[in-house]
Amino acid sequence: MKWSNFTLENYKKIPKIDIIENKLLIDKMNNDKMNILNLNDIDFKLSYTNIDNKLISNKSSIKWVYSNGVMNDLKNLKSEIEIKWDNNIMFIKCNEHKLVKILNRLPTLLKMINYINNENHNLNIYLILTNLKKNINDKDNKLAAREINSGYSDIREKYIFIWREEEFEKVLFHELIHLLNKDHRDEKYDYDIYNKKSFYEALTDTKAIYYNIIYLSILTKDDIYKLLNIELNFIVNQANYMNDLIINSYKEISPVTSYYIIKSKIFKYLLSNKMNEQLFYNLFTLCKNGNDLINTIYNDKIHKINYIQINSTRMTILELN
Ligand SMILES: [Zn+2]
């Protein structure tokens, strides 16, 4: 497995930070990694299919999808397959070149999905992997679906819809955490009095990054500690970048403060000497006490660095080719 050009070109440029005081989180990641490696191979059936453009158009017509961009890019996505395993179905529409690479990773991806889905809910997943890039559009000074989002979960209809190829596996882990109610969304957040910042998104993406590093460590055989360090540098870089945009009056339509800034503070805390077994158990096993954590870190200062601007709003630097 090779890293993407994006990863290779940028990871050396991003300023290095050193914030890991406590390795408990890393031990937990290694433990989950071992559990996943010990899972039996998953039996799946793959077939070619047709995904109706009307269905894509329907599922795209919500606030969290840049629907014009998606519909315009569909003509470039010539491969359409469906994958069935257990009681789950996943549709993938992408370009032919990408399909081969995704299929190489599929056995590991399915193990990751089953591991996160430990209560065996039925999953319906749509991966419409357009080439739309995550970056800032200087003309309209806003941070909305087009610039920030890549997918959503419909909790009532019970499906996941992802509409970008870029970092789609990280996004899939993020949406699984929503769909499987591990996302802390029903907690009451003391600081979120106007209910605009969606703090549960910071907790959700923290978990998505956690699983994405495990996934990539399995595929590349790079160790978790190394990958986490690279990812932390990037998370802090992006937090500083987004903080500057918000200070410069970019309009926060998507919950950017949560996705980038609060998440960076959460990671710093989970890797500090204040981390402990109980906190991990509450967050990752019971999926509760998110509000307590947010209350603890909310007023922490952002870890200031001279960030570099790479014209991308990605949330992970780690991506395979
Ligand atoms: Zn989310």
The pLDDT tens digits for 119-131 are: 999 999 999 999 9
pLDDT at 194 over 70: no
Distance from the alpha carbon of residue 75 to the mean position of ligand 1, in angstroms: 27
Average pLDDT over every residue of 5-23: 96
Distance from the alpha carbon of residue 262 to the mean position of ligand 1, in angstroms: 14
Mean pLDDT for the chain overall? 96
| Residue the block writes with tokens 């789609």 | 168
Distance from the alpha carbon of residue 283 to the mean position of ligand 1, in angstroms: 16
d(CA 184, CA 234): 24
In a domain, 309, yes or no: no
In a domain, 311, yes or no: no
Distance from the alpha carbon of residue 178 to the mean position of ligand 1, in angstroms: 7
Residues 6+ apart with CB under 8 A from 280: 24, 25, 28, 270
Distance from the alpha carbon of residue 175 to the mean position of ligand 1, in angstroms: 6
Predicted local distance difference test score (pLDDT) of residue 125: 98
Average pLDDT over every residue of 189-215: 91
What band does 220 get if pLDDT is binned at 50, 70 and 90?
A: very high
Distance from the alpha carbon of residue 212 to the mean position of ligand 1, in angstroms: 15
d(CA 282, CA 140): 41
Q: Phi/psi zone of residue 141: left (φ > 0), alpha (ψ -120 to 50 degrees), beta? A: left
Domain count, the chain: 1
Domain extent for 171: 5-297
pTM value is: 0.97
Do residues 22 and 275 make contact, with C-beta atoms less than 8 angstroms apart? yes
In a domain, 95, yes or no: yes
Average the pLDDT over each of 36-40, 191-195, 306-310 and give the range with the smallest value: 191-195
The three-class DSSP label of residue 91 is strand
Distance from the alpha carbon of residue 152 to the mean position of ligand 1, in angstroms: 7
Distance from the alpha carbon of residue 311 to the mean position of ligand 1, in angstroms: 22
Average pLDDT over every residue of 75-83: 98
d(CA 4, CA 6): 5
In a domain, 317, yes or no: no
Alpha helices in the chain (DSSP H): 5-10, 24-37, 53-60, 67-73, 96-116, 145-148, 168-179, 200-220, 224-247, 256, 263-270, 277-280, 290-297
What band does 214 get if pLDDT is binned at 50, 70 and 90?
A: very high
Distance from the alpha carbon of residue 161 to the mean position of ligand 1, in angstroms: 12
Write out the two tokens for 6.
Answer: 């994006």
In a domain, 128, yes or no: yes
In a domain, 88, yes or no: yes
The dihedral over CA atoms of 139, 143, 147, 149, expressed in degrees to the nearest 10, equals: -160
pLDDT at 34 over 70: yes
Cα→Cα distances 98→105, 133, 183, 321, Å: 11, 15, 30, 9
| Residue the block writes with tokens 């790479």 | 310
CA 140, chain centre distance (Å): 25
In a domain, 94, yes or no: yes
Predicted local distance difference test score (pLDDT) of residue 140: 85
In a domain, 117, yes or no: yes
Distance from the alpha carbon of residue 185 to the mean position of ligand 1, in angstroms: 10
Distance from the alpha carbon of residue 164 to the mean position of ligand 1, in angstroms: 15
